[in-house]
């Protein structure tokens, strides 16, 4: 009997940076565009190709947009089986693609589906995964170094995956900036067949409920309430609406259910980068401020002049938010009339 011995691929056999492009069927999610911006920089440093991977049904139109945002190449797997995200089918398709094409880096958005896919995929590919990263760079030997927040955001651990490939990370929404779209960016689109079937979709959709979702990472103006509001977000909402912005909160308010988790800022919420952020009644815990430090202008309102939030603010108002916000709302309303 002759046994065929196939050697396991070595890290040198892997080449290129891949971004899993999450979408809602119509548009690419913002986090995918943000990752593409960073991935473009990584692939330029490595002098390699940036490939976007699109899985779905009837999603060919997203390939052109992916190139405008920096992809040299887009792999499109178009199948009705992949119409909605399904753990087993998407994992199987991605594992097959990665095994066949061998990218050295694979980046995925740290969304609900992205986190679900990345963990399972990493196990299937027997490789390492850094989760929820906030920094990505290439070291002198060409390895990906990922900054993973630890101890509630108190530290950023820089982690490498030396032996196995691809080097995988999920990336937090709102951390990186997308490139300016450029219609002159050219690339290639390849349609790929993968071996997925109905049997790989191990769930049945009983009813589809489309939730009104808020994307605070895109807001140019944010008004943020903390526990100092006592959960009464009326003034915060009024001001946000007048400014054409969104409402953000600290974690305790999301935990208590005053608003959905979509509004939560911080290490376990979203990182935001608005032009103006007004934060009222938040103490400024590091796990919160890590999510606001990229804002252009921060105005903080707090009764406690020693509150750490003031170390992060450009304008500090030491007073009761219930006294400060009503005249501010009146002023903004007046300027709009
Ligand atoms: C693992 C881990 C992850 C976490 N992740 C996050 C996260 O992602 N995001 C997050 O926000 N938190 C997070 N936290 C919680 C965080 O540590 C803080 O507990 C939280 O941010 C505090 O929220 P706060 O500032 O609203 O409340 P508090 O710390 O209670 O502050 C309330 C502030 O309001 C002021 N105030 C009271 N009344 C008024 C008034 N009338 N007018 C003006 N000011 C007033 C007070 O002086 C005080 O400074 C995390 C914690 C852990 C352990």
* Top-confidence residue, 209 or 277: 277
| 81 part of a folded domain | yes
- Contact (Cβ atoms closer than 8 angstroms) between residue 197 and residue 147: no
Protein residue with least CA distance to atom 39, ligand 1: 228
Check if 110 has its Cβ closer than 6 Å to any atom of ligand 1: no
What is the span of the domain harbouring residue 281?
A: 216-336
Instruction: Kindly give the distance from the C-alpha atom of residue 283 to the centroid of ligand 1, in angstroms, as a whole number.
Output: 5
Q: Provide the CATH number for the domain around residue 308.
A: 3.40.50.1220
Q: Tell me the pLDDT tens digit for each residue of 107-144.
A: 999 998 999 999 999 999 999 999 999 999 999 999 99
Q: Give me the count of residues in the chain.
A: 337
Q: How far apart are the first and last CA of the chain?
A: 88
| 166 part of a folded domain | yes
Domain limit, last residue, from 153, 173, 200: 200
How many domains is the chain partitioned into structurally? 2
The model carries a pTM of: 0.76
Instruction: Kindly give the distance from the C-alpha atom of residue 161 to the centroid of ligand 1, in angstroms, as a whole number.
Output: 35
Q: Tell me the pLDDT tens digit for each residue of 146-205.
A: 999 887 667 889 999 999 999 999 999 888 999 999 999 989 999 999 988 888 877 777
Report the C-alpha gap between 266 and 154 in whole angstroms. Answer: 12
| 152 part of a folded domain | yes
Provide the 8-state DSSP code for 152.
G
| 264 part of a folded domain | yes
What is the rounded average pLDDT of the residues 210-233?
91
Check if 307 has its Cβ closer than 6 Å to any atom of ligand 1: yes
Which ranges of the chain would DSSP assign to H, the alpha helix? 30-46, 61-68, 87-101, 112-125, 234-242, 251-255, 286-289, 321-336
Mutate to test the pocket of ligand 1, among 152, 228, 258 (most ligand atoms within 8 A of CB): 228
Q: Tell me the pLDDT tens digit for each residue of 10-47.
A: 888 899 999 999 999 999 999 999 999 999 999 999 99
The strand pairing partners of 289, in sequence order, are none
């Amino acid at each position: 009997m002759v046994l065929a011995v196939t050697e396991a691929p070595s890290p040198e056999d892997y080449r290129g940076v891949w971004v899993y492009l999450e979408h809602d069927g119509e548009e690419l999610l913002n986090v995918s565009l943000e990752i593409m911006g960073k991935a473009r920089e990584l692939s330029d440093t490595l002098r390699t190709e940036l490939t976007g991977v699109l899985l779905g049904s009837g999603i060919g139109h997203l390939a052109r947009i992916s190139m405008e945002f920096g992809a040299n190449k887009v792999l499109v797997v178009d199948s009705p089986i992949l119409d909605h995200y399904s753990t087993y089918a998407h994992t199987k398709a991605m594992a097959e693609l990665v095994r066949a094409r061998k990218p050295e880096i694979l980046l995925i958005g740290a969304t609900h589906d992205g986190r679900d896919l990345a963990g399972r995929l990493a196990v299937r590919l027997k490789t390492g995964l850094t989760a929820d990263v906030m920094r990505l760079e290439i070291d002198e030997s060409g390895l990906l170094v990922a900054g993973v927040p630890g101890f509630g955001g108190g530290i950023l651990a820089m982690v490498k995956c030396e032996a196995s490939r691809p080097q995988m990370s999920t990336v937090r929404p709102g951390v990186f900036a997308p490139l300016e779209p450029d219609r002159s960016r050219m690339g290639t689109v390849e349609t790929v067949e993968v071996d997925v079937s109905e049997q790989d979709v191990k769930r049945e959709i009983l009813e589809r409920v489309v939730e009104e979702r808020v994307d605070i990472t895109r807001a140019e103006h944010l008004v943020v309430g903390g526990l100092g509001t006592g959960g009464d977000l009326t003034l915060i909402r009024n001001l946000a609406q007048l400014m054409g912005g969104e409402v953000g909160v600290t974690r305790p308010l999301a935990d208590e259910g005053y608003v959905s988790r979509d509004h939560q800022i911080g290490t376990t919420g979203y990182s935001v980068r608005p032009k103006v952020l007004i934060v009222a009644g938040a103490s400024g815990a590091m796990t919160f401020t890590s999510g606001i430090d990229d804002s252009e202008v921060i105005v903080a309102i707090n009764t406690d002049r020693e509150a750490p939030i003031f170390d992060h603010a450009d304008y500090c108002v030491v007073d009761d938010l219930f006294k400060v916000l009503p005249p501010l709302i009146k002023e903004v309303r007046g300027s709009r009339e």
